[in-house]
Chain A
């Protein structure tokens, strides 16, 4: 089975967002990049699938030089081959998906797995875009996955419950927290990842459909009130919630 995984690089979740000089993106100074946390579930799902059914794993990333570090994390976990579609342009989800779809068309995988969204732009678009561009089904926000006899059955989260969705391969799966527990790379994996080559490609599509005009921070909140320091404050708190905030 040929398994493709689409990953991306994002600022670490502990990053304090500061607006950059262009007023449209975050200030990159001091930001460390990590593999998108939702993509770790995708990598783990791919590795489990390979261990069970055999096959090969190929990871794709659209990004800059820094994306290589993220690819090495995927290598360290056990991914065998990686392709970086290298560009310094800021591509939107549509353009990223077109680049991925062009390469995936050539690789022709049986299953494509990606995180449900990246935690920077929270766009939750790329997996479904890629699937439509390739003309294959997609299942998003997946927390349960079975692949058998050329078919997948997946559980996806919806409001207040789950949907059980079936589709025939090839299919795109977008993973959600809860699907699995991503493994920690072992030392051998980390060492091997360092020297493993990453294939570089040129982007095939750079035409954004959307344009970011500005980025802003949420308005700072007015300083709250400390109602008290022990149980005696409880009646006062309840009174404030009823009469001042009017929320209960």
Chain B
């Protein structure tokens, strides 16, 4: 029987949303393939949290526990995951295309001489094989691909595969014994620095971005005020990041972050092709721009052709009123 192993990501011994999504998808794919799905958790103390996966169809979980695994180590986690695949005789490995997943997956692939499809946004089964769809060129195009190596690895883009609750099963949890030596921890996280209280554009449900139309960094508060009312994050076009108005981490676009929030509001952004690549998969797009021919209106669901200096304060005020009700 084909076996799927899903690495369920946790941090500080708490399962991450992306981990639940991957576990749930592993279960649904296993049903479709007539396969078995097993979960893998790694950390210093993860046995007790494995039970949460029962609500998503997982009935068997394996844990690799070691005090040195409390903090993420690329090299040690790569070894742990690859050894678990071997120990369980898994044919397919799922993980999440998060910062951790993106970092560790290729190393696991190299260890297992396996093909890896990263950042998948859809998986379908054809003739018993998984065909993955994933964005390329920052979302300007998509490819369908399959993996031809004996072990196949798929990393799933977060926030795409909605977890499906299933009849709750009891999770049997077993420890996998993997022997680590110091060399396995050749890279080690020394410290995690959380950046203020600021919400990251790639994680926000609502993103309000500003561009050149704001005329100067001193006007960026217009974008931040609107983002604040909506409980969203403030993003920026490449032009104003290059001009030094905003930090690079806020940049949305092909050489910045790809975002797909439920609402994206582009303020004074013309919509260069690099920018559109990073945000056009947003569920609802609003554009506010003086130039009615700006390319941003091509991808916008709603637009106001007008001056950001007038529209933004009015929109912020209107939303304050509406949200208060």
Contact = CB atoms under 8 A, between A and B. Distances in A.
Interface of A: 11, 13-17, 19, 24, 26, 37-38, 92-94, 97, 119-129, 131-133, 136-141, 143, 153, 155-168, 171, 177-178, 208-218, 221, 224-231, 233-235, 237-238, 240-242, 245, 247-248
A171 B187 contact: yes
Given A162-B193, A162-B195, A231-B314, A226 B187 contact: no
A158 B191 CA distance: 12
Given A129-B107, A231-B311, A178 B115 contact: no
B119 A122 contact: yes
Contact of B141 (A26, A94, A133, A209): A26
A50 B191 CA distance: 27
A225 B107 contact: no
Interface of B: 72, 74-75, 78, 98-100, 102-107, 109-111, 113-119, 131, 135-149, 186-195, 198-200, 202-203, 206, 230, 247-249, 251, 254-256, 262-263, 272-274, 280-281, 283-287, 292, 297-306, 310-311, 314-315, 318-319, 322-323
B186 A168 contact: yes
A125 B154 CA distance: 13
Contacts of B72: 163
Given A163-B72, A226-B304, A241-B284, A122 B146 contact: no
B113, B137, B148, B299: residue with the most chain A Cβ atoms closer than 10 Å? B137
A16, A178, A209, A233: residue with the most chain B Cβ atoms closer than 10 Å? A209
B-side interface mostly: mixed
A125 B113 CA distance: 13
A232 to B, nearest CB: 9
A158 to B, nearest CB: 4
Contacts of B200: 159-160
Contacts of A166: 187-188, 190
B192 A162 contact: yes
